[in-house]
Amino acid sequence: MTRATWRTRVGFVLAAVGSAVGLGNIWRFPWLTAQNGGGAFLLLYLLVVVLVGVPGLLGEMVIGRRSGRNPVGAFGTLGGDRWRPLGGLALFASVVVLSFYSVVGGWILRYTVASATGAYFPAPQEYFAAIDYGVGAAGFHALFLLATAAVVYVGVDRGIEVATTVMVPGIVLMLGGLAVWAGTLDGATGGYEFYLSLDLAYLRANFFDVLGAAAGQALFTLSVGAGAMLTYASYLGEDRSLAADGTLIAGLNTGIGVLAGLVIFPLLFSLGVDPGAGGPGALFISLAGAFASLPYSRLVGIAFFGVVLLAALSSSISIYEVLVSYLVDEHGASRGGATAAVGTLFLVTGTGAALSPSLFTLLADTIANLALTAGLLGFLLFDGWVLGRLALEEYELGAGRIATLAGRPWFVAIAVILPLFLAFTFVTGIGGVVG
């Protein structure tokens, strides 16, 4: 059977942007920003996105396009069988990420439905505490997973490409509308100030913690390290510049992320809530509280949680696809069989995270960062030390003059400098877990 390819280049870019834009931008980013000192975190995060995330994204996509395979198959095809286990790191990262991601997806789904009846309006705090973990959370997680599986099942070009081509422009339009509306709220300026405040004393006192969190979030937001971008690039049939597309994808993700911040922070501050207090549920509690006091609160709730749901789905399908492509490429599974097998796996792991708050938090704020870092480290070392010249050639394939000039510095960065940086954040990250 021939492997699927994207129908259009725009379709590929939109699918990749759909993967990048997600709960990372809307839920995880404000949570971590508040936990790590506001603007100081934002600054380091943006630096790491540009210096590590973008070259790393290209390093990952190069392997996918060159091999036309999933992460494990790519390492085997390009480097020989003994490299296959290194590709397994990315599969592991995919499992870690989707196991908690779909639980948050379930929360979002529930809030979208609950907005229609206003169920959370009278007591936002109690509402979240009643639904966050447990059997109900496991059920909504399963529904979110089912929606993800349905898109993946239909296929790369007819399922993922069609769905994301509709979703991504929808997300941008709705976020834009919400950002304009949020700017009209009383107290919005407080939100912008927090977003842009730079607490240098905090940064100096907690530099390595903030750096580690910023680095993990930079990979997370670009969907780098779990093989999602590698897998998407493996469905590229033609030779246009990856450098141009990678930069475009990262730029759009950052732009949409900033737009999401312009919705979230004014909303939170219009009610005087501290986005950091209360951990992963803070966003839900405070936004739900904010919506309750607004005119047209149900409509606002449906619009907001609906757009977040689309963003979450367009990301979860990219993670799901990594494992499906692995089973199809390497084990000769049918798409239907692979989709069912992957769904069963995530039904189990996600239910674990939906029932156990401590497992959830461990996966979401610690293991995910470590796993993505290890996955990307594997890709970059493979580019630099196994593929070597071929990686550079692949990067320059179809590239314009500027991208070609950037080829050598890029290669030095991914072969040497970024691996050192990632190894460092990995080790300090482990230190944080153990210590």
* Residue 107 or 220 with smaller CB distance to ligand PFF: 220
| Residue choice 319, 342, 371, 406 for contact with ligand PFF (CB under 6 A) | 319
Measured in whole angstroms, the distance separating CA 324 from the mean position of its chain's CA atoms is 18
Pick what 254 binds: ligand PFF, Na ion, none; C-beta below 5 to 8 Å, kind-dependent. none
For ligand PFF, which stretch binds (CB under 6 A), given 30-38, 57-65, 102-110, 222-230?
222-230
* Residue 22 or 76 with smaller CB distance to Na ion: 22
* Residue 20 or 74 with smaller CB distance to Na ion: 20
| Residue choice 67, 234, 314, 318 for contact with ligand PFF (CB under 6 A) | 318
3-class secondary structure per residue, the chain = CCCCCCCCHHHHHHHHHHHHCCHHHHHHHHHHHHHCCEHHHHHHHHHHHHHHHHHHHHHHHHHHHHHCCCHHHHHHHHHCHHHHHHHHHHHHHHHHHHHHHHHHHHHHHHHHHHHHHCCCCCCHHHHHHHHCCCHHHHHHHHHHHHHHHHHHHHCHHHHHHHHHHHHHHHHHHHHHHHHHHHHCCCCHHHHHHHHHCECHHHHHHCHHHHHHHHHHHHHHHCCCCCCHHHHHHCCCCCCCCHHHHHHHHHHHHHHHHHHHHHHHHHHHHHCCCCCCCCHHHHHHHHHHHHHHCCCCHHHHHHHHHHHHHHHHHHHHHHHHHHHHHHHHHHHCCCHHHHHHHHHHHHHHHHHHHHHCHHHHHHHHHHHHHHHHHHHHHHHHHHHHHHHCHHHHHHHHCCCCHHHHHHHHHHHHHHHHHHHHHHHHHHHHHHHHHHC
The reply on whether position 371 binds ligand PFF by CB under 6 A is: no
- 198: β partners: 38
For ligand PFF, which stretch binds (CB under 6 A), given 23-31, 62-70, 124-132, 174-182?
23-31
Token representation of residue 47? 């630096």
Q: Report whether 44 contacts 211 (CB < 8 A).
A: yes
* Residue 95 or 273 with smaller CB distance to ligand PFF: 95
The reply on whether position 225 binds Na ion by CB under 5 A is: no
* Residue 24 or 227 with smaller CB distance to Na ion: 24
The reply on whether position 228 binds ligand PFF by CB under 6 A is: yes
The site string for ligand PFF over 73-112 (x = CB under 6 A, - otherwise) reads ------------------------x---------------
Shortest separation between residue 434's beta carbon and ligand PFF, angstroms: 24
Our CA dihedral for 84, 88, 91, 97, rounded to 10 degrees, sits at: -150
The reply on whether position 221 binds Na ion by CB under 5 A is: yes
Instruction: Give the interface size with ligand PFF as a residue count (CB under 6 A).
Output: 15
* Residue 149 or 392 with smaller CB distance to ligand PFF: 149
| Residue choice 23, 168, 260, 381 for contact with ligand PFF (CB under 6 A) | 23
Q: Report whether 56 contacts 379 (CB < 8 A).
A: yes
Pick what 19 binds: ligand PFF, Na ion, none; C-beta below 5 to 8 Å, kind-dependent. ligand PFF
CA distance 236 to 147: 25
Pick what 323 binds: Na ion, ligand PFF, none; C-beta below 5 to 8 Å, kind-dependent. none
For Na ion, which stretch binds (CB under 5 A), given 13-21, 158-166, 182-190, 296-304?
13-21
| Residue choice 14, 25, 64, 121 for contact with Na ion (CB under 5 A) | 25
The reply on whether position 124 binds Na ion by CB under 5 A is: no
* Residue 167 or 392 with smaller CB distance to ligand PFF: 167
| Residue choice 104, 226, 287, 392 for contact with ligand PFF (CB under 6 A) | 226
Pick what 339 binds: Na ion, ligand PFF, none; C-beta below 5 to 8 Å, kind-dependent. none
Instruction: Give the interface size with Na ion as a residue count (CB under 5 A).
Output: 5
Shortest separation between residue 154's beta carbon and ligand PFF, angstroms: 19
Q: What is the contact surface with Na ion in residues (CB under 5 A)?
A: 20-21, 24-25, 221
Q: What is the contact surface with ligand PFF in residues (CB under 6 A)?
A: 19-20, 22-25, 97, 220-221, 223, 226, 228, 315, 318-319
